[in-house]
Amino acid sequence: MKKNEKSFLPTTRQEMDALGWDQCDVILVSGDAYIDSPFIGVAVVGRMLEKLGYKVGIIGQPDVKSDKDIKRLGEPRLYWGVSGGSIDSMVANYTATKKFRNSDDYTPGGKNTKRPDRAVLVYTNLIRQNFKNTVPIVLGGIEASLRRVTHYDYWSNKLRKPVLFDSKADIIVYGMGEEAVRELTQALDKGKEWKNIRGLCYISKEPIIEFIQLPSYKACLEDKEKYIDLFDHFYDNNDPISAKGLCQEVDGRYAIQNPPCDYLNEQEMDEVASLPYTRELHPYHRPEGQVKCLETIKFSIMTHHGCWGECNFCAIGVHQGRTIRTRSEGNIVKEANKFKEYKDFKGIISDLGGPTANMYGYECNKKLKHGTCAHQRCVDSKHLCSSMKPDHTRVIGLMKQVRNIPGIKKAFVASGIRYDLINEDKRKGYSYLKELVEHHISGQMKVAPEHTQQHVLDLMGKPGKQTLIDFKRLYDKLNKDMGKKQFLTYYLIAAHPGCTENDMHELKRFTTQELKMNPEQAQVFTPTPGTYSAVMYYTEMDPVTRKKIFVEKDPVRKEKQKAIVQAKDNFKSGFAS
């Protein structure tokens, strides 16, 4: 679309010259190629700052062995913004058993040759090498956000310092950070103090006494229970309403984490979603090939941010937050209508959802008023909090509106769905599933029980297997009543802390006998920063009881756990008695 190609943010000096710019105000550096999409963090930040009147350039996947890319836009006036990309660079580059990945869905041509390990460290050093005494370097995105305090690093198998101490950057904007980015940019532009802005981390020579004092880096190295204490505080202080600031001593200096910035309200969510994204790969990258991720995200719609599911192996709650922020139905319908302007749109919306699709449109009133509870989860492996009342009314209405737009042939819901919430919603849960089965899936629906053994589910924070059995029974009945032959596919995790080979045999038995299928979507657990499961992996303790748990750390035996559940036979000789 020639019209849209003109509206990319510049990534070359020629584009800057065409705009009459001598200098960018902000230059964003990313581990992804420059994809101008509302699903790509640096594109969102760039478009937000553009709307505020700032000149923003983007450098995607710079060559780290030369200065040709990092220097091509010159030096920014206000700051550099550095992100590892849409996926943590270590997760993007290595499998759960630390084998190098050959493909990358965010790299043109698909070959994993452009994203360095620990990308935020490498890009920061690249800037420092080529621009002496430069303007501040600001880290953002999931890679930096999840490493803002002392954290367990699976790939080096040790505790690492907060990323600011390793990266030589100046500031972290953590979480989604929309308000923090705006306030920081304006403060730097006007020469004002920025260290009191919410949603930022920085290094200080002095502690902030009013903040929660975390166990020091040294204390965490010496005592694993101190590390659990640190993570508890880190996890419990992510809500803009209830959170306090954090302070951690690291080798005589202090990592400061200000309380989180405010979440966007519905109108602000709509405004960010309506920014003029081209939804394309920038032409600069196209000679190297297309990026695979566009097949999924180009014609997908993000309906909301946040997730209160609190799976212990997932970092969404820490990065996006545990409070749902929704866009309006009208704004979502407007976005769907705009898809029809693209010549390659065939009437298929790839996904209408969010981190958890059926959390759209409702929240706990107590949480909205007082913030997340410090020691009470909205949902765990055994029950849903009585204050949280799932209500699928609004998401049902949204689905109907979108699929009834002229020219929309199908609006798939491919995002994750919590089937326990469907079961809990006695008023509208059945109606929601009926809508999905009849209109919004094709052939199969993906669910993520992850396991079936209760002690493993407890450590994962996932609902019990009876919830899955009840849901499957309802799903099968709906398909039968409608005359459809649609199936469930199941995501399962092997080698999670607490899980033994016997547990995988029992999981295999359950999938064979109860689900009548052979699992294909099984993965080996990866301990990622910002998750309780990574804390369990490192400490070999249940973080709640502090009791020792089994943790499989041998890569061969991890793969064996996965092989057990995926085997075409039943591994009869290996079944536990």
- Residue 576: pLDDT above 50? no
Q: What is the mean pLDDT of residues 188-198?
A: 98
CB burial string 552-561: b at 16+ within 10 A, e below: beeeeebbbb
Model confidence pLDDT, tens digit, residues 416-442: 999 999 999 999 999 999 999 999 998
Q: What is the pLDDT of residue 568?
A: 80
Q: What is the pLDDT of residue 381?
A: 79
Q: At 389, is the pLDDT very low, low, confident or very high (cuts 50, 70, 90)?
A: very high
Model confidence pLDDT, tens digit, residues 460-480: 999 999 999 999 999 999 999
- Residue 570: pLDDT above 60? no
Cα–Cα distance for residue pair 504/386, rounded to 1 Å: 33
- Residue 5: pLDDT above 50? no
- Residue 572: pLDDT above 90? no
How far are the Cα atoms of 385, 406, 441, 535 from residue 373, in angstroms, in the given order?
A: 11, 44, 35, 21
Contact in structure between 414 and 351 (CB atoms under 8 Å): yes
What is the DSSP track for 33-92? --B-STTSHHHHHHHHHHHTT--EEEEES--TTSSTTTTTT---SSEEEEE--SS-HHHH
Contact in structure between 259 and 237 (CB atoms under 8 Å): yes
349 forms bridges with which residues in the sheet?
Answer: 411
What is the DSSP track for 131-166? STT-S-EEEESHHHHTTSSSEEETTTTEEE--HHHH
Q: What is the pLDDT of residue 375?
A: 74
- Residue 569: pLDDT above 70? no
* Ramachandran angles phi, psi of 445, nearest 5°: -125, 130
Sequence ranges of the chain with CATH classification 3.30.750.210? 299-442
Q: What is the mean pLDDT of residues 327-347?
A: 97
Would the annotation count 364 as a binding residue? no
Cα–Cα distance for residue pair 276/56, rounded to 1 Å: 14
Could you tell me the pTM of the whole model? 0.94
Angle CA 306–369–49, to nearest 5 = 50
Q: What is the pLDDT of residue 519?
A: 87
Q: What is the mean pLDDT of residues 300-328?
A: 96
For 1-16, what is the HEC assignment?
Answer: CHHHHCCCCCCCHHHH
Q: What is the mean pLDDT of residues 49-62?
A: 98
How far are the Cα atoms of 332, 495, 497 from residue 524, in angstroms, in the given order?
A: 36, 6, 11
Mean pLDDT score across all residues of the chain: 95
Find all residues with CB under 8 Å of 449, minimum gap 6, and list them.
Answer: 462, 463, 465, 468, 490, 491, 492
Contact in structure between 159 and 537 (CB atoms under 8 Å): no
CATH architecture of the domain with residue range 444-577: 2-Layer Sandwich (3.30)
Sequence ranges of the chain with CATH classification 3.30.750.200? 444-577
What is the DSSP track for 341-354? GSTT--SEESEEE-
- Cα 210–chain centre separation: 30
Cα–Cα distance for residue pair 56/58, rounded to 1 Å: 7
Pick the residue with more confidence: 5 or 115?
Answer: 115
Specify the CATH number of the domain 299-442.
3.30.750.210
Q: What is the mean pLDDT of residues 281-290?
A: 96
- Residue 296: pLDDT above 60? yes
- Residue 152: pLDDT above 50? yes
- Phi-psi category of residue 119: left, alpha or beta, with phi > 0 → left and psi -120 to 50 → alpha: alpha
Cα–Cα distance for residue pair 85/178, rounded to 1 Å: 16
Q: At 351, is the pLDDT very low, low, confident or very high (cuts 50, 70, 90)?
A: very high
- Residue 343: pLDDT above 90? yes
User: What amino acid occupies position 6?
Assistant: K
Find all residues with CB under 8 Å of 405, minimum gap 6, and list them.
Answer: 333, 336, 337
Q: What is the pLDDT of residue 518?
A: 87
Model confidence pLDDT, tens digit, residues 492-534: 999 999 999 999 999 999 999 999 888 888 999 999 999 999 9
Contact in structure between 507 and 452 (CB atoms under 8 Å): yes
Sign for the pseudo-dihedral over CA of 472, 423, 363, 299: positive
Model confidence pLDDT, tens digit, residues 92-118: 999 999 999 999 999 999 999 999 999
Q: What is the pLDDT of residue 347?
A: 97
Return the structure tokens found at 444. Answer: 């199969």
Would the annotation count 314 as a binding residue? yes
Find all residues with CB under 8 Å of 101, minimum gap 6, and list them.
Answer: 92, 93, 94, 95, 112
Cα–Cα distance for residue pair 469/516, rounded to 1 Å: 12
How far are the Cα atoms of 26, 27, 82, 525 from residue 136, in angstroms, in the given order?
A: 10, 11, 11, 37
